[in-house]
Amino acid sequence: MTVHSGAPEFSIITAASGLRAGAVSVPDLVEQSLAQADAIADLAAFTEIYADHAKALAHAHQALIANGCDLGPLHGIPVAVKANVAVAGKRMTAGSKLLADRIADTDADATQALKRQGAIIIGATNMHEFAWGGTTANPHFGQCRNPWDRNRIPAGSSGGSGAAVAARAVFAALGTDTGGSIRLPASMNGLTGLRPGVGRLSTGGIFPLAWSMDTVGPIAPSAADCAIVHAALCGESVPAGFAAAGRPASLSGKRIAVPTPYAFAALQTDVETTFRDALRQFEALGAVVDPVSLADLDIAVDAQVIVDAAEPSAIHADWVRTRPEDYGDDVRILLEAGLAFTAEEYIQAQRYRTLLRRQFERIFIDHDLVLTPTLPFTAPLIGQATVMLGGREESTLTGNMRFTCLASLAALPAASFPIGFDTAGLPVGGQLIGPHDSEMAILAVVHAFQGASDHHLRRPSAGQSLTSATTG
């Protein structure tokens, strides 16, 4: 595996600066983006490429910039959206055969927000069918592969968004996150991914998975990039602290809680080592890191599974009964299983969510954020259903949810960001969870961490495009 480091930073800020200085044009950026998307076709990161449309838009946006019309930090920047996010006039398949011929009449609200800032959407990214799964093993559009090791998964369900950004085909991509589907691909692909809190952004025009936990947000190389995209989605300005990518900053006064022993239990050795190193880095930046106790975390994944199965099964009930053969086997089985949960089980899971949310509220009285690993393991091999953790075999599906379910169940914002690499050179992610409406505060802490580390600057051998266009 070849890992590139020390290269010019690949970022929206750097590309935008080059555009405004005239060092690069929007058509240049789009052509390079499309060329890289073609070069990584074997990753199956995209379900569709909007090449002709993107090229036409590039010339139109270049004319706007040349005439002094600046739509914002994303103006002229190539991005992508997950295949369950509607783009007007384009197919919106949600990674399924059932929606293979559906053409979106209008943009999703998130798509429209990107367009208002002049972002150029070059295509739709591959995903686990209907977002119900964590591998992006899609029987209809192909197995998406991890650019750090093509024999491994990029996680899911937004795996195509993660792979496309990690391979530097786009500067950012939208994903959706219900149980962890932004944070998991961010972790396994060495990226930063933001799950906004439930209700923070409109999910209008996005095919739902579990409506009480669904969110939409960015996957990008850095916290600064995520902040730019999140601000665009919110219709807000980017806070000044993100203006200079990678600027070191103190975290003095910040109090970070670590659920103990939960955050350290049954981790792969390299993940535990890297996570403990990250704790020391936060302390070196001035943060106070405290162990805290959260009750009944041993049933958190069970509660997540119930809600994350029952709600999708309610949405799909008619199709599961009338067109079961049109689903991939894994998703069909999960949807059929979800129909078997009782009202009592669903209500008890929702009661647990209330309990967990109240515990977080108490922690946030004295602490700013909660820190855990994003995953207990690095990217598994394609087809690998279990992994050895703590001396016993654990399902990769439930392992995926162990830490990400906490923010999902509590409906809170959270971000995954690179904290290092295992001995095989695979990325390891850390997760920060914050109180409601703390998305930018979370990203500011990640930004400070990234100002003092270079994990987010490393890229896989597949990610070699667009570099010249960002250097100015």
Of the residues 25, 157, 222, 313, which is catalytic? 157
Contact present, 185 and 400 (Cβ < 8 Å):
no
Of the residues 82, 90, 115, 254, which is catalytic? 82
Of the residues 158, 181, 313, 408, which is catalytic? 181
Residue 115 known to be catalytic: no
Backbone angles phi, psi at 311, to 5 degrees: -65, -45
In SS3 terms, the chain reads as CCEECCCCCCCHHHHHHHHHHCCCCHHHHHHHHHHHHHHCHHHCCEEEECHHHHHHHHHHHHHHHHCCCCCCCCCCCEEEEECCECCCCCECCCCCCCCCCCECCCCCHHHHHHHHCCCEEEEEECCCHHHCCCCCEECCCEECCECCECCECCCCCCHHHHHHHHCCCCCEEEEEECCCCCHHHHHHCCCEEEECCCCCCCCCCECCCCCCCCEEEEEECCHHHHHHHHHHHHCCCCCHHHCCCCCCCCCCCCEEEEECCHHHCCCCHHHHHHHHHHHHHHHHCCCEEEEECCCCHHHHHHHHHHHHHHHHHHHHHHHHHHCHHHCCHHHHHHHHHHCCCCHHHHHHHHHHHHHHHHHHHHHHHHCCEEEEECCCCCCCECCCCEEEECCEEEEHHHHHHHHHHHHHHHCCCEEEEEEEECCCCCEEEEEEECCCCCHHHHHHHHHHHHHCCCHHHCEECCCCCCHHHHCC
Contact present, 312 and 341 (Cβ < 8 Å):
no
In angstroms, rounded to a whole number, what is the distance separating the alpha carbons of residues 231 and 109?
14
Residue 416 known to be catalytic: no
Tell me the catalytic residues.
Answer: 82, 157, 181
